[in-house]
């Protein structure tokens, strides 16, 4: 069944066929290839002249074999049903042997063929795959192979909140909560309100409020609700947060009994929709500079709320454009011309029919990148009078004689104390963000498992999750999501247990984890979008909404860059306090610790160690994180001090090191995250789960070290040989974690109705 | 005018007031502060007992001064109108001197005050700012201060395309092109079509086509048009690209004279809207695996186009859901049961009234993250017959006897040759992306200049662009935007001048620059969004649309990760060819070059050099980039070879090093970008412009080196002391470039109607 007359007549020439086919398979013969093949042909003294001529004719780049001929060659070779042949030469020998009667030329000629094959860099083993049916590879056969019980893992993730989580999931899985495509902004906002009303009916809105307001007095539960709702529509979550978290908690934490009695019940039932009016056009991050005024009039015992200039209008206020009837307004209190700093007041915006109160003007912020179910607005106050009792007077008040009273002397200090009580927002937001990451990763990982593309020559296509780059995109974020889950639980617990002493530490922790988690979410959802290709760009697959709705999380509740500086400043204060204790023992201790680091950690054997046991060792990870946290803080402190000592203004000095300070914050937060994750790993009893968590913890740790390797190398804490070994270990961990990946997202136990993406359909 | 009776009676005590005020200003007295102050008070033997008692009473944390009292203290100190005093002690002395009659106690007491001040770590200079009116700092006084002519820069950016650019800008600035908020998907798509029709009327659609099709035969101009249109709505740009670039160019490049005569005129005028139907549900990146069939029937001289299974439906096809009347369909050609690989055919979808052709079924892809003006659809073919002449037959055809003919023997090779002619898409997309980056940066930088937030104690608020972190966010992207502008111009020129020899190199270059630029755009617009805070989240400020519309650029025209591997493989091929030349001279040369690197570049003086002249030296930058490009390629090749030599399947070997390969691609592209940028800098005559470009080029280079510092440190190419110096230099360059920033975005000369964002309004 030979295709060419000439070959049919001269079957010995078939020994050339595999090499010829392989060279022509890319349709191009390079000059080198021609030269080598000519040499090979001319060397064969068993060939007749016309055979040589024919063979040389087949090497003319101007005159390639016809497509049909090339196909015939291939078919011929495939028909051999290759067995043990591993080089093109061997395949050629088999072919010739099959058809030629005289094969005595073979033994003496093999060597020259093999040499040519090698010179041309043709990989026989590779080339033969195109002649075979199946072709298995390590990459092809890698697959999901979970080694733990999903339910056990879910139990650990849910912890003691399991019942409440189930309850919330049941509600948001109800058909009335099905995702919709909205016809207009108004339709979306109305639906969002309806959903929030339903949640209020379920008692979720009042959860953190006192019993008399139909609440459960359960702040922890409130965070759990926020987190679990965040598997569903995020406009709904933010509107929920505005109403019950910002508006409600400001009444609860800044007001006193009379306010609680008067408002909390209606806030919790959503009978009284409200706003949290702090940000102004001119002052967002720097809220200390707010300009709205609340002027006290002792005669009428009222405050007059006023927007003195356009930059002082309240801006971006959730619930303001459509539904809000009241607002907690932050304004500078003026008594007798004297400014007592920013205080909080309850100010009506609309009557219960929705008509604006006289003196209040509201504009709609319009379309946003996301969260379009939330009706943000701009508010102007034109001399709006409110009764004295509307001052939220937990931290300051005006007494019977019209004098200002407060246990906190300093206006700034008082304002920041007030803000401090509202730190809960910086816990709710990252927990909501992390839920969005979980949903995004669930979608992307399911897609990566189902989507096949490319494969070995002649073999099946491979799930894209088997590709190393795809694993690099999704496995470290999966590990970090687990890490952050436990870190945010720790933050919540610290917040619940807070005392006056650790209030500032917890504020810094919340600020840092808010910034870290929301940046992580933005980056992760971007990866998920790209990892799902064009499918990830379709709104039906939900990554669109997840990404765009959470995008502003890096901005609200405090811009992340500003927050990270706040964290760093808090660390610097602690650092300074340690020294200004003027306690010789402390300083001695610190110096001794530094020296110990140098001696044990910078030991040449350790900085160069590539031993796997060492690289995977949790103690090594934690010391590396702690070393970074400490060293980077100490060098920032030294730099600032040096600049100031040299006469630089401290404002300038802090600006010069701003980039450094963000790293101080990051390093601190990363240490906390790792420490808490390691604790969970060590406390986990179930062996399968423990092993799976340990692997994630190792991946989080090594991936973070890898990310910071430039710094570690600069410090001499590691040498290149070690950071290279770490990179290899990260790759390996990604490869291994990939086996559990699907199960690890199953353990999030996100309702299928919330995942919703067709590409993630089970 | 003293506020407290006791102080009024005992004015000597005023020496304590500045320290007391400063300690109480944060409302908290720490135990250390109390202890130190008690010591200070008790030491003063000039104090009467009741004075001491009074002073000690003021240190009770349970009993802080009243808000009003604290304000009075401050007012008292402020009334001094501070002059030369630089410590709290000196301020206290001035106060006491002002009111007390007997000041003889002062000289002997000063030292103990100063010591306490120091022990408490109170920075007098800092504290005094709160008692002053203005407070100037370096950060406050930094400002825009351009040192070049904007028009000169625009001239360099526009190059020889200046007239066409002006013409396009005039069109898109017309009121009929004003941005709108759309009521529905349909409304948006219709408007997008209208805009494209208007552009066709202006002759822009046919620009690259031959004269007989009313074109200008000007491919370069076509790219300029795409780039300039991209300052406006990007749905319009992509629909424009689908019609004239994908649909039109496929007819132009894959068809022959008969197709050109028949179709190009109507394509260029948009009388004949069409699609480019390559991607299928099952095959996006791996288009070689397309499954749609085109079966030849010799009797009727027709092809039957068919979708054999749901995964083979054409997916995500632009123009398909609503407007497309024809499509270039990629399908496997079957003749007599034999598969001749993927070929291209013109297939009608709708008649001129918009009714679907029988056998064609189309579904709407629905809402996407962005580009909602483009009507993407899914197409199923059910045995649709087309005449033989509809085969686009530049690279293959069916002859009169019904046999397949092609100058390219291999099906794969032929397909990739076809794709190669369509590489223009990988030039148009990054050029469009870069325009979006330019708009985003213009908005963010203008906002950063206008927006003020925070400031030194007692001083004015500062433009946020003066903050180092803000500069770090926006200045390197600004520099990279300039760098990419010139790199893409270079790519375009290479494409226009291409020959068969360099076709593959140019394909790799286009793939790499497409991936690099679109990733850059995604990251840059994310930074711009965050840098504009909540304002950046409002749709009116355009970053929403810019980010979401360009987000899929990293996916279409080839997924970036896949493209970067393609680039890396191309580099490996060149690398291998260099060696398989079996030219001893080449190898010797290479080894000698490697050795030279080691000797001169790894010279201990250079790897540790922190000399500014060296760090800013363009030769140093280029050598560092080249070294990385070469070393990373060589180590990737070695790793692959080692794996294969050890018996690993090559498919697996390439998977193991996938992450490494993406870096090979990046390093290559970065070297090209720097090289081209440096050329432009050296060729620029105008001094101011040249200086400004040089600074941007240095920033791009050093920022890129900083990004890769982990790698350079691992290689021993630099030591920590040098990478730290580079970081400092990057900070300084950001600080300096900030002065030009506004002018550098002005030089983009984007029509104000396209910038449109209220926060960027002039």
- Asked if residues A570 and A505 have their Cβ atoms less than 8 Å apart, the reply is yes
- Report, as an integer, the average pLDDT of B263-284: 97
| Residue B457 touches chain A, beta carbons under 8 Å | yes
Backbone φ, ψ for residue B398 (5° rounding): -110, 125
The answer to whether residue B155 sits within a structural domain is no
pLDDT band at A605, cuts 50/70/90?
confident
| Residue B403 touches chain A, beta carbons under 8 Å | yes
Interchain CB contacts (distance < 8 Å): A and B: 306
Beta-carbon neighbour count of residue A540 at 10 Å?
16
- Report, as an integer, the average pLDDT of A715-719: 94
pLDDT band at A593, cuts 50/70/90?
low
Summarize chain B as % helix, strand, coil (round to 5). 60, 10, 30
Tens digits of residue pLDDT in B612-631:
999 999 999 999 999 999 99
Same domain, A501 and A409: no
| Residue B337 touches chain A, beta carbons under 8 Å | no
Predicted confidence (pLDDT) at residue A107 exceeds the cutoff of 50: yes
The answer to whether residue A300 sits within a structural domain is yes
Question: Where does A29-151 show beta strands of DSSP type E?
Answer: none
Q: Enter the tokens of residue A643.
A: 């600049």
Backbone φ, ψ for residue A301 (5° rounding): 50, 50
Last residue of a domain, one of B402, B422, B442: B422
Q: Enter the tokens of residue B125.
A: 């200079």
Place of tokens 């246990």: A407
CA–CA distance, A627 with A596 (Å, rounded to integer): 11
Q: For A214-228, A620-634, B85-99, which range has the lowest pLDDT when averaged over its residues?
A: B85-99
Predicted confidence (pLDDT) at residue A459 exceeds the cutoff of 90: no
The reported pLDDT for the residue numbered A589 is: 52
Domain extent at residue B57? 5-133
Average pLDDT, chain A: 92
CB atoms A552 and B538 under 8 Å = no
| Residue A416 touches chain B, beta carbons under 8 Å | no
Backbone φ, ψ for residue A73 (5° rounding): -55, -50
The answer to whether residue B169 sits within a structural domain is no
Last residue of a domain, one of B111, B133, B155: B133
The reported pLDDT for the residue numbered B108 is: 87
Which among B365, B461, B644 has the least Cβ separation from residue A286? B461
Note the Cα A524 to chain centre separation in Å.
3
The reported pLDDT for the residue numbered B599 is: 57
CB atoms B403 and A716 under 8 Å = no
Q: What CATH code is carried by the domain that includes residue A275? A: 2.40.110.10
Backbone φ, ψ for residue B318 (5° rounding): -65, 145
Predicted confidence (pLDDT) at residue B531 exceeds the cutoff of 90: yes
- Bridging pattern class, strands A326-335 and A274-277: parallel
The reported pLDDT for the residue numbered A586 is: 45
Choosing among B560, B714, B738, B758, which should be mutated to test the A contact, i.e. which has the most A CBs within 10 A? B714
Tell which wins on pLDDT, A537 or B79: A537
The reported pLDDT for the residue numbered A584 is: 36
The answer to whether residue A56 sits within a structural domain is yes
Query: For residue A534, which residues of chain B lie inside 8 Å, CB to CB?
Result: 279, 284, 315-316, 552, 555-556
Which among B459, B468, B650 has the least Cβ separation from residue A655? B468
Tens digits of residue pLDDT in A251-261:
999 999 999 99
Predicted confidence (pLDDT) at residue B22 exceeds the cutoff of 80: yes
State how far the alpha carbon of A400 is from the alpha carbons of A51, A382, A397, B76, B373, in Å. Answer: 118, 26, 10, 28, 63
The reported pLDDT for the residue numbered B106 is: 87
Query: For residue B475, which residues of chain A lie inside 8 Å, CB to CB?
Result: none
- Report, as an integer, the average pLDDT of B577-593: 48
CB atoms A138 and B338 under 8 Å = no
Residues whose CB falls within 8 Å of the CB of residue A646, separated by 6 or more in sequence, listed in order? none
Average pLDDT, chain B: 92
Note the Cα A116 to chain centre separation in Å.
52
CB atoms A537 and B368 under 8 Å = yes
- Report, as an integer, the average pLDDT of B635-648: 86
Of B264, B270, B269, which is closest to residue B249 (Cα–Cα)? B264
pLDDT above 90 covers a percentage of chain A that reads: 76
CA–CA distance, A48 with A55 (Å, rounded to integer): 11
Give me the number of domains chain B comprises.
3
CA distance to partner chain B, nearest, from residue A507 (Å)? 17
Nearest CA in chain B to A182: B184
3-class DSSP state for residue A365?
A: coil
CB atoms A366 and B540 under 8 Å = yes
The reported pLDDT for the residue numbered A148 is: 97
Nearest CA in chain A to B186: A183
CB atoms B530 and A184 under 8 Å = no
CA distance to partner chain A, nearest, from residue B582 (Å)? 8
Tens digits of residue pLDDT in B686-719:
999 999 999 999 999 999 999 999 999 999 999 9
Last residue of a domain, one of B372, B399, B422: B422
Which among A455, A548, A662 has the least Cβ separation from residue B548? A548
- Report, as an integer, the average pLDDT of A509-523: 98
DSSP B361-411: EEEE---BSS-TTS--EEEEESSEEEEGGGB--SS-EE-TTS-EE-S---H
Same domain, B593 and B558: yes
Q: Enter the tokens of residue B506.
A: 């140019």
Tens digits of residue pLDDT in B316-337:
999 999 999 999 999 999 999 9
CA–CA distance, B285 with A295 (Å, rounded to integer): 66
- Report, as an integer, the average pLDDT of A455-479: 95
Predicted confidence (pLDDT) at residue A344 exceeds the cutoff of 50: yes
CA distance to partner chain A, nearest, from residue B48 (Å)? 28
CB atoms A651 and B537 under 8 Å = no
pLDDT band at A1, cuts 50/70/90?
very low
| Residue A408 touches chain B, beta carbons under 8 Å | yes
The reported pLDDT for the residue numbered A100 is: 87
CB atoms A410 and B555 under 8 Å = no
CB atoms A552 and B537 under 8 Å = yes
The reported pLDDT for the residue numbered A588 is: 45
CA–CA distance, B56 with B44 (Å, rounded to integer): 12
Tens digits of residue pLDDT in A609-631:
999 999 999 999 999 999 999 99
Same domain, B698 and B710: yes
| Residue B84 touches chain A, beta carbons under 8 Å | no
pLDDT band at B591, cuts 50/70/90?
very low
CA distance to partner chain A, nearest, from residue B165 (Å)? 30
CA distance to partner chain A, nearest, from residue B679 (Å)? 30
Same domain, A416 and A450: no
Nearest CA in chain B to A289: B454
Same domain, B265 and B345: yes
CA distance to partner chain B, nearest, from residue A154 (Å)? 32
Predicted confidence (pLDDT) at residue B408 exceeds the cutoff of 70: yes
What burial class does residue A619 get, using C-beta atoms within 10 Å of its C-beta: 0-12 exposed, 13-18 middle, 19+ buried? exposed
Tens digits of residue pLDDT in A517-575:
999 999 999 999 999 999 999 999 999 999 999 999 999 999 999 999 999 999 988 77
The answer to whether residue B141 sits within a structural domain is no
Predicted confidence (pLDDT) at residue B578 exceeds the cutoff of 70: no
- Bridging pattern class, strands A326-335 and A293-297: parallel
Same domain, A558 and A614: yes
CA distance to partner chain B, nearest, from residue A548 (Å)? 9
Burial A711-738 (b: 16+ CB within 10 A, else e): bbbbbebbbbebbbbbbebbbebbbbbb
3-class DSSP state for residue A266?
A: helix
Helix (H) or strand (E) holding B334: strand B326-335
The reported pLDDT for the residue numbered B235 is: 98
Same domain, B338 and B220: yes
Same domain, B394 and B520: no
Same domain, A509 and A382: no
Query: For residue B66, which residues of chain A lie inside 8 Å, CB to CB?
Result: 405, 409
Q: ipTM score of the complex?
A: 0.93
The reported pLDDT for the residue numbered B1 is: 39
pLDDT band at B589, cuts 50/70/90?
low
The reported pLDDT for the residue numbered A587 is: 41
Q: What CATH code is carried by the domain that includes residue A680? A: 1.20.140.10
Query: For residue A666, which residues of chain B lie inside 8 Å, CB to CB?
Result: none
The reported pLDDT for the residue numbered A119 is: 80
Query: For residue A130, which residues of chain B lie inside 8 Å, CB to CB?
Result: none
Place of tokens 């005039």: B170
Q: Enter the tokens of residue A611.
A: 């031993």
Predicted confidence (pLDDT) at residue B588 exceeds the cutoff of 50: no
Q: Enter the tokens of residue A507.
A: 């504020």
The answer to whether residue A207 sits within a structural domain is no
Helix (H) or strand (E) holding A378: strand A377-381
The answer to whether residue A665 sits within a structural domain is yes
Query: For residue A25, which residues of chain B lie inside 8 Å, CB to CB?
Result: 410, 412-413
Same domain, A435 and A577: yes
Same domain, A107 and A77: yes
Output the CA angle A244-A246-A247, nearest 5 degrees: 70
Query: For residue B472, which residues of chain A lie inside 8 Å, CB to CB?
Result: 658-659
Same domain, A349 and A484: no
Q: Enter the tokens of residue B576.
A: 């291998």
CB atoms B469 and A662 under 8 Å = yes
CA distance to partner chain B, nearest, from residue A716 (Å)? 8
The answer to whether residue A510 sits within a structural domain is yes
CA–CA distance, A270 with A247 (Å, rounded to integer): 11
- Report, as an integer, the average pLDDT of A468-482: 98
């Amino acid at each position: 069944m030979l295709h060419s007359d000439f070959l049919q007549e001269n079957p010995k020439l078939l020994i050339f066929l595999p090499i010829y086919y392989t060279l022509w398979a890319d349709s191009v013969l390079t000059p080198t290839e021609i030269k080598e093949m000519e040499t090979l042909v001319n060397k064969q003294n068993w060939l007749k002249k016309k055979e040589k001529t024919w063979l040389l004719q087949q090497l003319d780049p101007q005159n390639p074999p016809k497509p049909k001929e090339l196909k015939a060659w291939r078919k011929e070779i495939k028909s051999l049903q290759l067995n043990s042949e591993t080089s093109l030469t061997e395949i050629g020998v088999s072919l010739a042997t099959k058809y030629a009667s005289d094969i005595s030329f073979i033994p003496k000629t093999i060597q020259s063929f093999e040499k040519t094959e090698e010179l041309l860099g043709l990989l026989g083993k590779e080339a033969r795959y195109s002649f075979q049916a199946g072709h298995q590879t390590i990459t092809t056969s890698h697959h999901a192979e979970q080694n733990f019980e999903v339910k056990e893992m879910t139990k650990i993730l849910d912890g003691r909140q399991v019942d409440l989580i189930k309850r919330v999931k049941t509600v948001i899985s109800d058909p009335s909560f099905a995702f919709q495509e909205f016809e207009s902004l108004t339709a979306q906002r109305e639906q969002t309100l309806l959903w929030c009303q339903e949640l209020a009916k379920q008692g979720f809105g009042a959860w953190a409020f006192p019993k008399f307001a139909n609440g459960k007095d359960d702040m922890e539960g409130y965070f759990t609700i926020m987190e679990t709702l965040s598997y569903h529509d995020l406009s709904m979550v933010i509107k929920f947060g505005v109403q019950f978290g910002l508006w409600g908690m400001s009444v609860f934490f800044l007001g006193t009994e009379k306010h609680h009695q008067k408002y909390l019940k209606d806030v919790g039932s959503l009978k009284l929709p409200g706003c949290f009016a702090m940000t102004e056009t001119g002052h967002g991050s720097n809220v200390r500079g707010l300009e709205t005024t609340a002027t006290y009039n002792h005669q009428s015992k009222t405050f007059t709320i006023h927007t003195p200039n356009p930059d002082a209008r309240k801006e971006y206020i959730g619930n303001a454009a459509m539904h809000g009837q009241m607002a907690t307004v932050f304004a500078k209190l003026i008594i007798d011309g004297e400014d007592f700093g920013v205080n909080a007041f309850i100010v009506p915006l609309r009557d219960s029919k929705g008509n604006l109160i006289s003196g209040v003007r509201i504009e709609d912020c319009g379309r946003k990148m996301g969260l379009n179910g939330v009706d943000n607005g701009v508010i102007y106050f034109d001399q709006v009078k409110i009764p004295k009792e509307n001052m939220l007077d937990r931290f300051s008040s005006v007494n019977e004689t019209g004098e200002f009273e407060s246990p906190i002397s300093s206006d700034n200090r008082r304002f920041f104390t007030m803000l401090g009580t509202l730190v809960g927002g910086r816990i709710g937001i990252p927990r909501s963000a992390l839920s969005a990451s979980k949903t995004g990763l669930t979608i992307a990982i399911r897609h990566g498992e189902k989507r096949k593309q490319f494969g070995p020559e002649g073999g099946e296509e491979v799930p894209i999750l088997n590709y190393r780059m795809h694993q690099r995109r999704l496995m470290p974020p999966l590990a970090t999501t687990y890490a952050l889950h436990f870190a945010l639980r720790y933050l919540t617990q610290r917040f619940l247990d807070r005392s006056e002493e650790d209030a500032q530490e917890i504020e810094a922790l919340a600020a840092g984890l808010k910034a870290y988690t929301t940046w992580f979410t933005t980056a992760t959802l971007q990866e998920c979008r790209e990892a799902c290709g064009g499918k990830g760009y379709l709104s039906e697959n939900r990554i669109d909404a997840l990404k765009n709705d959470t995008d502003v999380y890096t901005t609200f509740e405090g811009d992340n860059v500003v927050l990270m500086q706040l964290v760093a400043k808090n660390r610097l204060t602690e650092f300074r306090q340690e020294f200004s204790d003027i306690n010789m023992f402390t300083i001695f201790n610190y110096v001794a610790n530094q020296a110990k680091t140098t001696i044990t950690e910078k030991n040449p054997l350790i900085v160069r160690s590539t031993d796997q046991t060492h690289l995977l060792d949790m103690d090594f990870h934690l010391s590396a994180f702690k070393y970074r946290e400490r060293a980077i803080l100490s060098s920032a402190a030294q730099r600032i001090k040096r600049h100031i000592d040299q006469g630089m203004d401290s404002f300038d000095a802090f600006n010069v090191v701003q980039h450094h300070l963000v790293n101080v914050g990051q390093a601190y937060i990363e240490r906390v995250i790792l420490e808490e994750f390691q604790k969970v790993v060590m406390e986990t009893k179930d062996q399968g789960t423990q092993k799976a968590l340990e692997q994630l913890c190792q991946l989080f740790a090594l991936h973070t070290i890898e990310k910071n390797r430039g710094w570690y190398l600069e410090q001499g804490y590691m040498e290149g040989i070690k950071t290279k070994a770490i990179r290899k270990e990260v790759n390996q961990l990604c490869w291994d974690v990939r086996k559990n990946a699907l199960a690890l997202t199953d353990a999030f136990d996100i309702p299928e109705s919330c995942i919703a993406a067709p590409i993630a359909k089970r």
